[in-house]
Amino acid sequence: MQRKERAQKEWTARYGHIRPCISTDNWGKKIVAVGNQVFAAEKCKFVADFLIQYVPAVFGKDWWDAEVAKPEAQRHPVFQWRTGCLRHNQTVQVDAAGKLAVHPDGNSSAYLSFAFSLFAIADNSRLDELLLHRLKHRDQFQGAWHEVFVEATCLRAGFTIEREDERDPATRHAEFTATHKATGERFSVEAKSKHRPGVLGFAGTAQPDEKLSLAFGRLINEAIAKKPKHPLVIFLDTNLPFHAASRVYGSELNGPAVPSPYMRVLFDRILAAHGGRYPFVMLAFTNNPDHYVAPHEADPPKHIHIMMTEHPENAKGRALGALYDAVPLYGNIPNEFPDF
């Protein structure tokens, strides 16, 4: 019991409050429970083996076959990531202990991080047809992909999520309401991602690093203008190559204690525009640049900067603190199926 309790704590520290992958071996297959469904995976020893097969099963055979028929450059980002992941797995080597080892590249990290987050959402019965429809279409994928990141982050932090009814035209809606299980605190969560030509299925030609726009004020203002019914939390994906992102975040990674000069100017502008008060309780800037690197190129570091405006000692601060701690967990993929 002590061993299992210790293993559970270690799991939570690394993967948050996402349920471990519940599985069993039968009929020569790995049977994995995902919410109220079960998936049977072939030749599946590790969690990554399951995730490689999971997304095609969720997206459907017809969609996958249609992508196969397209020229490679026109295929959906998820299809390209998975193809790159499979090709990179062929570079596997045997380490000094005799174990198979492969160092993750950008494609592998992008695909497996997305697949594990999608698994977490489905395991909590939150993967609906609308989100799946948006994920399947290149022109809608980027926004939906960022929402997957944000929803999975909230689940990792111990929240439940409830999407708002976008069909109601009477009011503007945030992406969803997040409720912290431990404190009952509720937040309206908005996910914003910067579109860039030629990136993540967006039309156009990719621009050189020095010409990339660093303007994010419009996205923040759009989130604020929705005037949500709960305190507002904004997740903003800056969508930049790693070296370009340092112009926004500074040289430090994963939540520097002191904001960069760019961030200080931006926060001052927000305060000035809103009478000296922040119109949100958290603004989380993230940059996951896996999709910018070439095949077999090493997975690049990620940038994070989070501004919290609530004191961490009150209940709301505790809930926001859980979100703060969960953001860097994205990209942590379990290797083996747990036995607890």
pLDDT surpasses 80 at 104: yes
The answer as to whether 289 is a domain residue is yes
- On the question of pLDDT at 10 being above 60, the answer is yes
* Residue 7 domain-assigned (yes or no): no
**Residue at 19: amino acid letter:** R
Give the burial string for 102-124 (b: 16+ CB within 10 Å, else e): eebbbbbbbbbbbbbbbbbbbbb
Higher-confidence position of 11 and 170: 11
Query: Domain for residue 166, yes or no?
Result: yes
Instruction: Note whether residue 142 is domain-resident.
Output: yes
pLDDT of residue 164: 73
State mean pLDDT over 297-326.
84
> Per the domain annotation, does 87 fall within a domain?
yes
Residue 158 has pLDDT above 60, yes or no: yes
Residue 32: pLDDT band with limits 50, 70, 90: very high
Q: Is the residue at 98 inside a domain?
A: no
6 found inside a domain: no
Q: The tokens of 283 are what?
A: 């603004």
Contact indicator for 117, 161 with CB cutoff of 8 Å: no
Say what the pLDDT of residue 275 is.
92
pLDDT top residue among 44 and 233: 233
Question: How far apart, in Å, are the Cα atoms of 170 and each of 165, 177, 226, 230, 233?
Answer: 11, 18, 12, 17, 22
Backbone torsions φ then ψ of 165, nearest 5 degrees: -80, 100
Number of domains in the chain: 1
pLDDT tens per residue across span 246-294: 999 987 665 546 789 999 999 999 999 999 999 999 999 999 999 999 9
Domain containing residue 222: 14-93+104-329
41-81: per-residue pLDDT in tens?
998 888 999 999 999 999 999 999 999 999 988 999 999 99
User: How far apart, in Å, do the first and last CA atoms of the chain sit?
Assistant: 10
Q: Cα 139 vs. chain centroid, distance in angstroms?
A: 18
245 neighbors 286 (Cβ within 8 angstroms): no
Beta bridge partners of residue 284, listed in sequence order: 235, 306
Name the pTM for this structure.
0.92
Q: Is position 335 within any domain?
A: no
